[in-house]
Structure 1
Amino acid sequence: MRVLLTTWGSRGDVEPLAGLAVALRDLGAQVVVCAPPDEDFAALTARVGVPLVPLGPSVRSVVAGEKPPTAEDAFRLAAELVAARFDVLTSAAEGCDALLATGLLPVGARDVAERLGIRYVFACFHIFGLPSRHFAPGVRPGTPSPDGETDLEVLWEQDAQRVNALYGEALNSHRAAIGLPPVANVRDHVFTDRPWLAADPALCPSEGMTNLDLVRTGAWTLPDDRPLPEGLDEFLDAGEPPVYVGFGSMAAYAPEGIARTAIEVSRAHGRRVVLAGGWAGLTAIDDADDCFVVGEVNQQALFRRVAAVVHHGGAGTTTTAARAGAPQVVVPRIADQPYWAGRVAELGIGAAHHDLAPTPDSLSAVLGTALGPEVRARARALAGEIRVDGAAEAAELLFDAVGGRR
């Protein structure tokens, strides 16, 4: 069996596909990943020996400016990505039995699969964004819903209209060019009636939360046995467990001055710091030996040795920290991150800082909560409930869906 996995998004969108690719390959499949051309992602897929076909612009070029992208930027990117998918995926999916798409709404992927007559699967890493009778849609570029509108059915219909405004013209012009009829509801067309949810059930319960018939697996985790960077083992062994601070791919979205605030607050709590530079370019604030700066690092190994993880609330970081039994402080910025912050707080495995501008006092309060013995005990207890077989289960399901032979 030959499978094409595709996404466009941050590392949290690419790494799960690498995990699924490894699980598929273990069953005998040939796998190609089609993803943004960022160097980080090419190195990630190369590490596991999976070919990467570049798709669209690099993510870093879009999000790493001084300011977050504007609505006008989003409309330009939407049309660019639709065109890229019709072009790149049509070639990359030739001879494949299935095309699985995820990440930023993958408009065009289902249409390429339809044109080639192969199985299409849409997968997501959280329930945020799936039509629901229990919560409102998130913010998208375009005309906002009227102030005071609370009817969820109306709000989700308006969400579909915003998706149509973003993608409809580009999608239907490309469909017409390959002889396919127009699509009236782009969002629901992409989702299908049975999307796959690749999230841990303990962290992301979904029963009754969406109107769609979800196919559940656990999170798609890529096992990581890489050693920690030179000097980090010695730093960790030299004192009490430190606080990890990192904002991943947030770049322009990271809170202003967060490195200084987090380091000073951690010190006030008697903790050293491991600071992840990431795309936000976080750096140490002085030459003191109680702060160790890392780049790309094995979080699975590191998080088992820290006192708490301060992060932005991406699905991958949240799951990795939960699996390691590390208390969390989530400072959400965009998209699904407020959802994960809420879940961390509800589960008692950490604390959420929903204010977009952390101050020393506000961050100190939530870090103090996360460092408490009750939260530590709850985080360690929940760690034993986090599934580790999500990618293997999804690989089995995909083989069964296309009648593949193992």
Structure 2
Amino acid sequence: MRICIVAIDTRGGVQPYAALAGGLRRAGHEVRIVAPEDFTGWLTGMGLDAVPLTGRMDDAARAAAGARFSGGVVPRGMREQLVQQSLLHARELLDYAAGSDAVLGGVGGGVLGVDVAERLGVPFVHAHLQPVGAVSSALPGVLTPWIPGWTGAVGNLVGSAITESALTLPFRAVSRAVRTEVLGLPRRRSRPRQAPLSLYGLSRHVVSAPATWNLTGYWFLPEDRTWAPPVELERFLNAGEAPVCIGFGSMIGADPAATARLITEAVHQAGVRAVLLTGWGGMSDIATTDNVFVIDQAPHSWLFPRARAVVHHGGAGTTAAALRAGVPSVVVPHGVDQPFWAKRIADLGVGPRPLPRSTLSVHSLAAALHAAVTDDRMRTRAALLGERIRTEDGITAAVDVLTRVLPPATPR
């Protein structure tokens, strides 16, 4: 089959789709992955057929942070810009996906991918990193972790309905413009004759979902055997007890320097050593010391198992990597699906209660760090969960589903 994967997300959200693309290629399928242009070099470096959508995701993240974009709320000033960019991306995607037998994408890729697939007359596969895509009483809403668990099925139904509305309503204007101005389709999408195929790159050990859902296990990249840690990082790791690892990925705060100071003070107060991953967050105004090592990034699969605990923002990809490593997570959610994953980690007993970014303090972070490195029961639960996740092969399971369910490739 010829499959086009649309991955419009931050690096942590693109990486699972890159892993799935690699698995499909190894199974003999032709795969093209479409992602923001700042990821093209990274993806082609893995040997993937990767093509760019105009625009950089790091620029989009900074613009969204400045506009306080969160979840399903699109600030008024960004709406017209979003429509115009989507029209451009739809034209690019229509060209890139020509000749495909199926188009695949998650929340970000589905905004354009569903309509482009309809124009091409091929199936669209919903491939999610979160338990979304249906209104169900069987699981809570990803964007409504604040609904109490004691509300049960009713709370789940309300929460999932709110989540689905938040993920679709803001983009209806985009879809209508793309369909009429680029794709020559009717203004509104028609109801599909049968339920579309959906895959979930999630572990059943982490998320409870209906048995009919295709929860395959997480989609992890294979180890990059060409990567070697900097000598200074290895020296730091070997110089004392295992450190905690701290990084907020693509989350960009209003004052990165203040965040860096808060982190270093909390590390000192908790009496731990730390590796600080600066990522896109701009926490660069901090120097390596005896207790804190500063680095832009390092493979999570290599670094996290060497840590005593991981402090992160709760993005789907980072959460998966931390859980697989089998160490406690301290989650500082910033928005969107991150509070959901933060609550799941606390509910599973593999991390302390979430620390929302808006109320984060030196004292609260230091207390959470202390709990994560000293609570033996928490550490045991995290280790056992990591073992279970490592036994899953989400890539193989996803490839098997796609090969079995999708129609055979059309002749060239």
TM-score scaled to structure 2, two decimals? 0.84
1:378–1:155 CA distance, 2 compared to 1 (3 A): closer
SS in 2 for 1:168: helix
Q: CA deviation at 1:310?
A: 0.6
One-letter amino acid of the structure 2 residue matched with residue 217 of structure 1: T
Say if 2:188 is the partner of 1:183.
yes
Aligned to 1:31: 31
Bigger mean CA deviation after superposition, 394-403 or 267-276:
394-403
CA distance in 2, matches of 1:79, 1:204: 34
Say if 2:396 is the partner of 1:392.
yes
1:340–1:392 CA distance, 2 compared to 1 (3 A): same
One-letter amino acid of the structure 2 residue matched with residue 14 of structure 1: V
CA distance in 2, matches of 1:337, 1:165: 20
Match for 1:138 among 137, 143, 157?
143
Match for 2:90 among 86, 93, 108?
86
Q: CA deviation at 1:259?
A: 2.1
Q: Deviations over 1:163-195 (max 9, x none)?
A: 66533233224323544333268xx98x96542
Say if 2:53 is the partner of 1:55.
yes
TM-score scaled to structure 1, two decimals? 0.85
Aligned to 1:67: 66
One-letter amino acid of the structure 2 residue matched with residue 265 of structure 1: A
1:204–1:256 CA distance, 2 compared to 1 (3 A): farther
1:26–1:161 CA distance, 2 compared to 1 (3 A): closer
Contact in 1 for aligned 2:130/2:142 (Cα 8 Å) = no
SS in 1 for 2:404: helix
CA distance in 1, matches of 2:159, 2:240: 52
* Structure-to-structure mapping, 1:99-248, within 5 angstroms: 99-104=103-108, 106-127=110-131, 130-133=134-137, 135-136=140-141, 138=143, 166-177=170-181, 178-183=183-188, 193-207=196-210, 214-225=213-224, 226-248=227-249
Aligned to 2:99: 95
Q: CA deviation at 1:22?
A: 0.9
Which ranges in structure 1 are unaligned for 5 or more consecutive residues? 140-149
1:151–1:12 CA distance, 2 compared to 1 (3 A): same
Aligned to 2:366: 364
SS in 2 for 1:300: helix
Match for 1:380 among 378, 383, 391?
383
1:98–1:129 CA distance, 2 compared to 1 (3 A): closer
SS in 2 for 1:122: strand
Q: CA deviation at 1:402?
A: 2.7
SS in 2 for 1:115: helix
Contact in 2 for aligned 1:241/1:306 (Cα 8 Å) = yes
Q: Deviations over 1:34-81 (max 9, x none)?
A: 01111xx22331231112211242111122257244512542354135
Contact in 1 for aligned 2:300/2:321 (Cα 8 Å) = yes
CA distance in 1, matches of 2:79, 2:402: 33
Contact in 1 for aligned 2:135/2:164 (Cα 8 Å) = no
Contact in 2 for aligned 1:274/1:294 (Cα 8 Å) = yes
CA distance in 2, matches of 1:328, 1:155: 25
CA distance in 2, matches of 1:292, 1:342: 29
Tell me the C-alpha RMSD between the 2 structures. Answer: 2.9
Q: CA deviation at 1:228?
A: 1.8
Aligned residues: 386
Identity across the alignment (%): 33
* Structure-to-structure mapping, 1:335-350, within 5 angstroms: 335-350=336-351
Contact in 1 for aligned 2:20/2:219 (Cα 8 Å) = yes
Aligned to 1:268: 269
Bigger mean CA deviation after superposition, 166-175 or 218-227:
166-175
One-letter amino acid of the structure 2 residue matched with residue 114 of structure 1: E
Q: CA deviation at 1:214?
A: 3.0
Contact in 2 for aligned 1:313/1:337 (Cα 8 Å) = yes
1:253–1:399 CA distance, 2 compared to 1 (3 A): farther
Contact in 2 for aligned 1:86/1:112 (Cα 8 Å) = yes
Q: CA deviation at 1:341?
A: 0.6
Contact in 1 for aligned 2:257/2:285 (Cα 8 Å) = no
Aligned to 1:251: 252
Match for 1:76 among 52, 58, 80?
80
Q: Deviations over 1:95-131 (max 9, x none)?
A: 1111101242622212211221222101111115743
One-letter amino acid of the structure 2 residue matched with residue 219 of structure 1: Y
Q: Deviations over 1:244-284 (max 9, x none)?
A: 11000012378773322222222222211101011001136
CA distance in 2, matches of 1:284, 1:36: 28
SS in 2 for 1:104: helix
CA distance in 2, matches of 1:105, 1:73: 22
Aligned to 1:311: 312
Contact in 1 for aligned 2:270/2:367 (Cα 8 Å) = no
SS in 1 for 2:290: coil
Q: Deviations over 1:294-331 (max 9, x none)?
A: 12211111111111111101111111111111111001
Contact in 2 for aligned 1:101/1:121 (Cα 8 Å) = yes
SS in 2 for 1:19: helix
Q: Deviations over 1:216-250 (max 9, x none)?
A: 21111112232223321111011000111100001
Q: CA deviation at 1:286?
A: 4.8
Contact in 2 for aligned 1:273/1:292 (Cα 8 Å) = yes
User: Whose helix fraction is larger, Structure 1's or Structure 2's?
Assistant: 2
1:162–1:335 CA distance, 2 compared to 1 (3 A): closer
Bigger mean CA deviation after superposition, 265-274 or 254-263:
254-263
1:258–1:156 CA distance, 2 compared to 1 (3 A): same
